[in-house]
Amino acid sequence: MKTIRKSLTELHTLLVNKEISSVELTGEYLDHISEFEPRIRAFITVTAEKALARAKKIDQKIAQGESIGPLAGIPMALKDNLCTEEVATTCASQMLRGFIPPYNATVAARLEAAGAVLVGKLNMDEFAMGSTTESSAIFLTANPWDLSRVPGGSSGGSAASVAAGEVPYSLGSDTGGSIRQPAAFCGVVGLKPTYGAVSRYGLVAFASSLDQVGPLTRTVRDNALVLNAIAGYDVLDSTSVPFNKPDYTHFLENNVKGLKIGVPKEFFEHGLKPEVAEVIQRAIKTYEQLGAEIEECSLPHMEYVLPAYHVISTAECSSNLARYDGVSYGYRAEAEEMIDMCETTRAKAFGPEVKRRMLFGTYALSSGNYEAYYVKAQKVRTLIKQDFAQALAKYHVLLSPTTPTVAYKIGEISEPVACYMGDVYTIPVNLAGLPAISIPAGFVDNMPVGLQLIGNYFAEGLLYRAAYAFEQNTGYYQEIPALLREAE
Amino acid sequence: MSYQDKYEMVCGVETHVELATKTKIFCGCTTEFGGEQNTHVCPVCLGLPGTLPVLNREAVNLAIKAGLALNCEIAEFTKFDRKNYFYPDLSKNYQTSQYDLPICKNGRLEIVVNGESKTIGITRAHMEEDAGKLVHSGESITTSDSSYVDYNRAGVPLLEIVSEPDMRTVDEVIAYLQELVQILDYAGVSDCKMEQGSVRFDVNVSLRPLGSRELGTRTEIKNLNSFTAVRRCLEYETERQAEVLNEGEKVIQETRTWDESQGVTLSLRTKEEAHDYRYFPEADLVPLKIDREWVERIRATLPELPAAKRERLKTLGLSVYEAGVLTSSKAMADYFDQVMQKYADAKIVANWIMGDLSALLKANNRSFEDCPVKPYQLADMLKLLKKGEISGKIAKTVLEEIYTSGKDPAVIVKEKGLVQISDQDALEKIITEVLVQNPKSVADYKGGKEKAFGFLVGQVMKATKGKANPELVNKILKEKL
Ligand SMILES: [Zn+2]
């Protein structure tokens, strides 16, 4: 396997120079997937045949001398909550077993238009609800750095597949940290774009006002290349924003001189493991050495983040998931009466975490509770936005750990609330709708630690610049799991 | 005994009208009525996972137009909310609707009952999507082995117009509904095709002792689809509530349904069993800012509304009755105006439209919307009549001929030789002949039998196949006799 550590730019050059064909490249990745999947289990579906057919088409283009884009002919995989035409989309739930969408998510369509080669669909927490991928109804995914650990979640398959070299990049979705946390746990780069920067059309909704699709890659440059392809206004998503989309790779300069970085002190509380804190402190030093101006700052309303997030996200999910009733697609339980059929279907096909959240959300929206929960949570959300607005008026980016700990052991987190606590640094970003990136910042006991950078609305470029300088000056991205070293 | 001896009715109505857009409110599917089951559908209106709504601007335009026609305030900021409830005809198990910030509020309209006019308040009007339709294998849901869902209707834009509880008699309710439907029809907001279910009514009704100012407990009767159904339902429900009260019992606050075949209302669910709809903002759509320019743009497209039109027709010398009939549908009123542009005698135009033409349409089960006689053709015919080129009797024949053949009146008159004979010499010759052939009648007339004159006129008409100018015939006959 000579390609797994190559960047998208390198792979593109190989293709353009005809040193390798897309069919060969796709074949190599498919072989690698076959070899690693028994241990990693990141893929719910592998679309080998379709992928090779697609690769062949790209090869024809190259043979005819057509110019190809930077992602053309290169394999990738999508989280299994992104609808793919004629390819099963399960959300890792029994409920959507056998559901084959008749349409592509906008991001899938855009990648297809860019010539990307879909090799499969990736495991996740059921309906994206969870932080370990353990709530998947299909199987557990292992962390490539330590197979006894979780890859994080909910985009666990997306992070694990990239970390294991099964694909050069993947897409995930992030509602409360679901791209950044698994990216941190698996030592890859994960971006949650500004709410509205990437279309949600075809992303199976968990919480509409928080969900956002984003790329997971090995390097910052790769990430920018993928964002180039998927970002931008979409008429099919009313919440997508018409904005002037830059070429994000233009921001990649190894220079953070004069960059003002705020470090919110609240992001160093709430159970932050000292070893992780140490890694982040070293990262701060690195930035200082590179000429950035670092200052401690405060986001005073952070203590209300978790309850506000859980009220809003569960309220929205209780309504978004109401459509799964066995009537016209997906799983259906047999029953004598129509209403019984719906009830039994839902009772049987949803897992416990999904049920727990729907119940909570239904409760929060019920008459008599609405004001006390939903309305109050929205007020908190406004306060959190204001906190960020004030901080980002002063600093270009905010810096924090992505998670308080490294990846948990499989089965370690049995208490749901403990699991929610692990998202305490990522959730506020979703509530505010801001962009944030998690990049590899070092290791604790051979497990990756993620550094989170938060920027202003549509300031993904600036995040990339800050992330790129750190990456180039530290080189953690070059570290790979032992598993992969053996394979090489 | 009628409930009115002891009680006063208090009634408000929620009217659901289908907005006349070409496509559904959140997707590009057609709103056309009918069609094979589940052919007017797409992933969005089927509520498939991952799909998102995109608001149809035209639905907003029509909602604003309806609001203006009903003298409502148009919200500067409005949004959509989800109304959550489980039912298989609802593809997402929530209906996208508007809750606390409806697009229109605080409107009113005028009704006239028994010559008295009254203002009925419009509390609000909000946009929402229609649901699909359950199709049962058997007679009804309870007797069926299986049920199917047809989503063709799912996502058709609706406007729900909520009145104040301002109506006190069944006649007032019907007058309100008629006026409301007429206004919406005029404004072009809805086709208002009741037979296709594009208008549906929910009525809220309660009784209170005469003279009382407190409101009684109300019941809501859902899903009435005609004025007749509303009238019969209210007549039944008021008597039912009166009986309950007369027996010293309390009316239960509940939702009821109207059973058309039995002519009764039946309990559907009580207040305790009422749905908790868990309304909350629809995060898949962005709130809508409606600037005043937008409103003014829509206002400029508002046509003359029924009340104004009735007033104008009265100034043309028509009676209240005539003005009422002519404005009963927009198509008829437009037809009248179009004829008037070419032939400006309101009385005569009104007579022909309300009389012969309406009768012709009715006999053929058609309406003014697709009237085969074009307005200019009626005007041309009336001109021929006025000039004396055809008689009134012939005019009726000509009208029928235009109706069936579509030919212009002048062509018909020429082809069929229907031109009235107004030539003095020609008529004199014919009349002389008639007199020669009918000596007895001539003698009778001269002997004082007035009736004989009519007979002789008839004979002249017969001889001319009805084409003789009647006035001229009278004149010449009198001279000759
Ligand atoms: Zn549709």
Residues of chain B with pLDDT under 50: none
Contact: A366, B91; criterion CB under 8 Å: no
Q: Give the nearest partner residue to A323 out of B53, B91, B149, using CB atoms.
A: B91
Chain A residue with minimum CA distance to B288: A238
Q: Residues 6 or more apart from A167 whose CB is under 8 A from it?
A: A29, A33, A75, A76, A77, A119, A161
Residue type, B416: K
Q: What angle in degrees, to the nearest 10, is found between the helix axes of B424-437 and B439-446?
A: 90
Residues of chain A contacting residue B150, judged by C-beta atoms under 8 Å apart: none
Pick from B269, B297, B325: which residue ends a domain?
A: B297
pLDDT at residue A4 above 80?
Answer: no
**Residue B435: its pLDDT value, please?**
84
- Regarding whether B119 and B71 lie in a shared domain, the answer is yes
Beta bridge partners of B222: B257
If one counts every other C-beta atom within 10 angstroms of the C-beta of residue A411, the result is 11
The CA-based diameter of chain A, rounded to the nearest angstrom, is 71
Residue with the two structure tokens 């006019």: B117
CATH code, domain with A410: 3.90.1300.10
**For ion ligand 1, residues whose CB falls within 5 Å:** B 27, 29, 42, 44-45
Chain B residues with CB inside 8 Å of A201's CB? 50-52
pLDDT digits (tens, 9 = 90+) for A236-250: 999 999 999 999 999
Residue A424 lies in a domain: yes
Same-domain check for residues B255 and B156: yes
Q: Does B302 touch chain A (CB under 8 A)?
A: no
Domain final residue, candidates B391, B416, B441: B416
Using a CB-CB cut-off of 8 Å, the residues of chain A touching B52 are 200-201, 236-239
Residue at A445 is within a domain: yes
Residue A260 pLDDT exceeds 70: yes
Q: How far is the CA of B152 from the centre of ligand 1 (A)?
A: 8
Shared domain check, B114 and B161: yes
* Residue B93 near chain A (CB below 8 Å): yes
- Report the residue of B23, B38, B42, B48 to disrupt the A interface, i.e. the one with the largest count of A CBs within 10 Å: B48
The residue-averaged pLDDT of A399-411 equals 96
- Triad A46, A51, A57: Cα angle to 5°: 175
Q: Are residues B310 and B293 in the same domain?
A: no
| List of residues 6+ apart from B19 with CB closer than 8 A | B25, B58, B59, B62, B63, B66, B127, B157, B158, B159, B189, B190
Contact A323 B50 (CB under 8 A): no
Chain A residue nearest residue B27, CA to CA? A236
Helix axis angle for B424-437 and B470-480, nearest 10°, is: 60
- On whether any CB of chain B is under 8 Å from the CB of A88, the answer is no
What's the ipTM? 0.96
Position B1 scores a pLDDT of 59
Q: Do A238 and B284 touch (CB under 8 A)?
A: yes
Total count of domains within chain A = 1
Closest Cβ–Cβ partner in B93, B278, B284 for A208: B284
Does residue A114 lie in a domain region? yes
pTM of the model: 0.89
Same domain, B220 and B136: yes
Do B119 and B226 fall within a single domain?
Answer: yes
Domain finish residue from B297, B324, B351? B297
Q: Of A36-45, A191-200, B111-120, where does mean pLDDT reach its minimum?
A: B111-120
Q: What is the CATH number of the domain that holds B442?
A: 1.10.10.410
**Which candidate in A170, A178, A199, A240 is catalytic?**
A178
Minimal CA–CA distance to A192: which of A179, A209, A207? A179
**Residue labelled with tokens 């949803």:** A350
Determine the pLDDT at residue A246: 97
- Distance between B268 CA and the closest CA of chain A, angstroms: 16
Tell me which residues of chain B, numbers 26 to 55, contact chain A at a CB-CB cutoff of 8 Å.
43, 46-55
Q: Is A325 on the interface with B (CB under 8 A)?
A: yes
- A92, part of any domain: yes
C-alpha distance from residue A228 to each of A5, A146, A193, A425 (Å): 21, 32, 12, 26
Structure confidence at residue A35 (pLDDT): 95
Same-domain status, B192 and B328: no
Residues A387-391 have a mean pLDDT of: 98
A79: annotated active-site residue: yes
C-alpha–C-alpha distance, residues B266 and B272, integer Å: 17
Does residue A1 have a pLDDT over 60? no
Say whether residue A178 is in contact with chain B using an 8 A CB cutoff: no
Residue among B439, B433, B424 nearest B463 (CA) = B433
Read off the tokens for B146: 């299986």
- Total number of domains in chain B: 3
- In this structure, the answer to whether residues B270 and B342 fall within a common structural domain is no
Q: Do A322 and B53 touch (CB under 8 A)?
A: no
Q: Which spans in A321-400 are helix H?
A: 338-349, 352-365, 376-394
Q: In terms of CA atoms, which chain A residue is nearest residue B91?
A: A323
Same domain, B36 and B91: yes
- Give the whole-angstrom CA distance, residue B90 versus residue B112: 39
Q: Are residues B471 and B365 in the same domain?
A: no
Which tokens is A307 given? Answer: 């309850």
Q: Are residues B171 and B23 in the same domain?
A: yes
Do the domain assignments include residue A460?
A: yes
User: A154 an active-site residue?
Assistant: yes
So what's the pLDDT on residue A270? 72
Residues 369-408 of chain A with CB under 8 A from chain B are: 370, 374
What percent of chain A has pLDDT above 70?
A: 98
Q: Catalytic residue at A131?
A: no
Is A101 in contact with B285 (Cβ distance < 8 A)? no
**Do residues B17 and B54 both lie within one domain?**
yes
Domain that holds residue B469: 424-480
Q: Please name every residue paired with A261 in a beta bridge, in sequence order, or none if there are none.
A: A294, A397
